[in-house]
């Protein structure tokens, strides 16, 4: 009897040891995970951050199979071999088995596109804190999506422009949209070009717009990335409002290296405008790709080149009410007109604007 009791007493600690270890620390999971993603012709860099994280993992998926990179600073880089849409999973770890994650997709273009397009330049992130990507066009494929329409005609377009807009001076190849201005006679015009728009298809009120583009150059060349109010067909211009994300006045000196960001509106029955400009310290905007952006909210519009702010305008004045409505996008290359003047003997044709992508965040 005493022997049996002794055995039970020896076994008791073994039974108690199967419970929770009071000496094991409580796991604290990371919180507030966020990511920034940038890509440059196949090479993708992911930067992950989170509170209370000890290390990070980023999983790059190709055909369902992940390549995992471990990082203590949250930065991971991977090069995709071909164009396509890929899944990325970012993990913030407190331990090997304790982590939180964020899953995202990214569209990759490996080819540098049209042969005349530059192969270098600034690349913007695919995401921003406190914004969601609501629409994009990476121009993969060989034709425009149904989100785009053409403007056709040669009526001067209110600016005494010299070109006739058709639907032919456009090319999509390798993820690059090319719009070309040519010196050729057509329908009483001496120049042709193309102008595309999302009118009636896609429009937005407030947000951030990024357009990665390499610009044409030369006297009389006028590339533009801009927006008009949805109600232009009923109220006309400038009562519909206009937001110029980027315009360039081609020509020697400062012209080929200066871009302008401007708003237009109706001020007490009269056309009003206000804007700023950004000049490169060296080179021209035709040398490589740059990202032209606006950040537009209830109080202001800010213009950026390569994510550097160069101009901001307050839009809280009641007279600027048209700048608080939905706007659609327009991309074009004009020839001549009141802004750049006419081509001259120094002008070289054809001239192309290359657009890598457009992305809208809200």
Residue 109, pLDDT score: 63
Q: What is the CATH number of the domain that holds 281?
A: 2.60.120.200
Tell me the mean pLDDT per 10 residues along the chain, length 362: 39 44 75 86 86 96 93 91 86 95 82 69 95 96 95 93 95 95 92 97 98 97 98 97 97 92 96 96 95 98 98 96 98 96 93 97 98
Residue 6: inside a domain, yes or no? no
Same domain, 209 and 335: yes
Residue 42: inside a domain, yes or no? yes
Same domain, 203 and 298: yes
Same domain, 194 and 331: yes
Residue 155: inside a domain, yes or no? yes
Same domain, 60 and 142: no
Q: How far apart are CA 261 and CA 357, in angstroms?
A: 19
Residue 127, pLDDT score: 94
Residue 265, pLDDT score: 97
Q: Which of 108, 141, 158 is the last residue of a domain?
A: 108
Residue 6, pLDDT score: 38
Same domain, 233 and 349: yes
Residue 121: inside a domain, yes or no? no
Quote the strand ranges of 174-326, DSSP E: 176-186, 189-193, 195-197, 207-214, 221-229, 242-248, 258-267, 270-279, 290-296, 300-305, 308-314
Same domain, 97 and 138: no
Q: Are 306 and 126 in contact (CB under 8 A)?
A: no
Same domain, 89 and 178: no
Same domain, 104 and 143: no
Distant-in-sequence, close-in-space partners of 270: CB < 8 Å, separation ≥ 6? none
Q: Which of 74, 108, 142 is the last residue of a domain?
A: 108
Same domain, 234 and 103: no
Residue 351: inside a domain, yes or no? yes
Same domain, 202 and 308: yes
Residue 122, pLDDT score: 96
Residue 176, pLDDT score: 95
Residue 96, pLDDT score: 94
What is the total count of domains within the chain?
2
Residue 299: inside a domain, yes or no? yes
Tens of pLDDT, residue by residue over 54-71, are 999 999 999 899 999 999
Q: Which of 73, 108, 143 is the last residue of a domain?
A: 108
Same domain, 97 and 159: no
Residue 115, pLDDT score: 55
Q: What is the CATH number of the domain that holds 77?
A: 2.60.40.10
Burial of 20 (0-12, 13-18, 19+ CB in 10 A): exposed
Residue 10: inside a domain, yes or no? no
> Which domain covers residue 215, as residue numbers?
133-361
Same domain, 188 and 310: yes
Residue 123: inside a domain, yes or no? no
Q: What pTM was computed for the model? A: 0.72
Extract the tokens encoding 288. 């490589």
Catalytic residue ranges: 242, 247
Burial of 151 (0-12, 13-18, 19+ CB in 10 A): middle
């Amino acid at each position: 009897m005493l022997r049996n009791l002794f055995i039970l007493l020896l076994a008791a600690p073994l039974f108690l040891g199967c419970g929770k270890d009071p000496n094991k620390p409580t796991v604290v999971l990371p919180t507030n995970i966020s990511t920034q993603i940038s890509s440059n012709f196949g090479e993708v860099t992911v930067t992950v951050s989170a509170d209370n994280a000890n290390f990070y993992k980023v999983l790059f998926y190709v055909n369902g199979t992940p390549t995992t990179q471990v990082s203590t600073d949250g930065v991971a880089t991977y090069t995709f071999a071909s164009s396509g849409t890929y899944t990325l999973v970012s993990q913030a770890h407190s331990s090997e088995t304790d982590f939180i994650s964020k899953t995202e997709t990214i569209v990759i273009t490996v080819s540098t596109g049209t042969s005349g397009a530059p192969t270098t330049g600034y690349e913007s992130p695919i995401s921003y804190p406190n914004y969601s990507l609501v629409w994009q066009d990476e121009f993969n494929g060989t034709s425009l999506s149904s989100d785009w329409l053409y403007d056709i005609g040669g009526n001067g377009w209110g600016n005494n422009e010299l070109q006739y807009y058709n639907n032919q001076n456009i090319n999509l190849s390798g993820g690059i949209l090319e719009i070309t201005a040519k010196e050729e006679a057509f329908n009483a015009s001496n120049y042709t070009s193309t102008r595309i728009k999302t009118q009636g298809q896609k429009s937005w009120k407030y947000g951030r717009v990024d357009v990665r583009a390499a610009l044409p150059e030369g006297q009389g060349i006028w590339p533009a990335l801009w927006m008009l109010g949805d109600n232009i067909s009923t109220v006309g211009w400038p009562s519909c409002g206009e937001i110029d994300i980027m315009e360039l006045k081609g020509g020697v000196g400062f012209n080929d290296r200066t871009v302008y960001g401007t708003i237009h509106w109706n001020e007490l029955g009269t056309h009003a405008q206000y804007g700023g400009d950004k000049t490169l310290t060296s080179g021209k905007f035709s040398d490589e790709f740059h990202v032209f952006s606006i950040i537009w909210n209830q109080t202001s519009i800010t213009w950026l080149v390569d994510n550097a702010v160069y101009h901001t305008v307050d839009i809280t004045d009641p007279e600027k009410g048209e700048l608080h409505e939905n706007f659609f996008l327009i991309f074009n290359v004009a020839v001549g007109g009141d802004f750049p003047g006419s081509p001259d003997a120094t002008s070289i044709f054809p001239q192309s604007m290359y657009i890598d992508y457009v992305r809208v965040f809200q």
